[in-house]
Amino acid sequence: MVGLLTLDSRIYNYGGFLQEMALQDAINSLGYECEIIDYEVSQEFNTFSLKRGIKNFSFDKIKKKLTKEKTILLSNPVSDLITKRKRAFDKYRAHNLVLSKKMSYSDLHSIDLNYEQLVCGSDQIWNPDYNIPAFFLNFGRKDCRKIIYAASIGKGQLSCLEKKTYSKLLEFPDYISVREDSAQKLISSITEKNVELVLDPTLLHQQEYWMKKADDSSLNHRNYIFCYFLNLTDEKVKSANDFAKKNNCEVIAIPYLHNEVEKYTEKLEGKLLSEVNPADFLNLIRNAEAVITDSFHATVFSIIFQKDFWCFGRNAGTCNMNTRLHTLLGYVEMQDRLIEPDDLKNKMHCTHVDIDLHNLKIEQKESIAFLSNALEIS
């Protein structure tokens, strides 16, 4: 059996959930039985960091990130919206993921895990703001094959202290692959191990796979521009409103849980949907006249479904979050689709797009080959 460890699907992030499901199904399609390790973040991380001499480990950061919705739920007047989102996610999760029993960090080390292979990925498992040692697979049997698939760092550089931390943690995995070319260069500079560049798990499947997933949705909206912003700003909402007006469409948006939902309510000239599961998310992209987003995975599915799309850059403090978008858009030679919100006014109308997937298909074969070879035990 293969044990899959990734970011907790209970953070109710569409991209995070869909990449988790996609990697689970990709492993199963290779002839293995995959189980997602239902891992709980705990205070025990701090114990590990001290033993390893890691000074910059912050459980508080992790806890704040992974439990932010709970804080919002208790304090925000839009808690009903969030409750509906969670309900929709939980129901969909129960039918699409195979989960182990809940495990803490100490469980990973004390329980005799019956996994011949361990896979960790994808998404921002190696983001220094999380700094979660288990995401380097520092547990498991001695004879267990340990594979990192499509890890993302979430930024273009690491501090000297972060490099020192990562160089120690990189001793654990047997096979390493990353999602962005910038991450490949960065990780290769701090380890002698081979670092492969592979596709995000959502891109390991053909369009037909995602069409079937989208068919599970009961939504039936038409003639709309779909918006999904992880870093909501007035400029992004205004540009989306203006673009929709020019194209005689309404705007349909899903609020990201970490945003101030009130800002959407005040600024958006359209519909704000709340009780939306991952299949609905896919369906909203598939049936849109165009997609406007700053999300990596919303951009991925715009490409898969051959949709007209525009992608806004995103920064988190002083950190540029666009490296993954540059890599993705480079595969389909559509770097011009990454723009500033103000530039959207020059893009007058929705257009039919015929996205060339030739390079992506080559990368898909190579990514599946990496995963297959890494999993195979002779």
- The structural domains of the chain, ordered by start, are 2-205+362-375 (3.40.50), 207-357 (3.40.50.2000)
DSSP H or E segment with residue 339:
strand 338-339
Residue closest to 200 by CA, chosen among 9, 17, 19, 369: 19
Query: What is the pLDDT at residue 210?
Result: 98
Place of tokens 């599970």: 216
Cβ(310)–Cβ(334) below 8 Å: no
Query: What is the pLDDT at residue 75?
Result: 47
Give the tokens for residue 148.
């990192």
Q: Which amino acid, residue 367?
A: S
Alpha helices in 38-118 (DSSP H): 44-52, 59-66, 68-75, 79-96, 105-110
State whether residue 360 is helix, strand or coil. helix
Give the tokens for residue 190.
């701090």
Residue 168 DSSP label: H
**Length of the chain, please?**
378
CA count, 13 A, side-chain hemisphere, 162:
17
Cα dist from 366 to 66, 176, 330, whole Å: 33, 14, 17
Place of tokens 């673009």: 243
Cβ(243)–Cβ(344) below 8 Å: yes
What is the reported pTM?
A: 0.89
Q: Which residues of the chain have pLDDT under 70?
A: 9-10, 41-78, 257-260, 315-321, 348
Query: What is the pLDDT at residue 74?
Result: 43
In angstroms, the CA 126 to CA 96 distance is 25
Residue closest to 8 by CA, chosen among 45, 49, 56, 62: 62
Give the tokens for residue 10.
């209970």
Query: What is the pLDDT at residue 170?
Result: 96
Query: What is the pLDDT at residue 41?
Result: 66
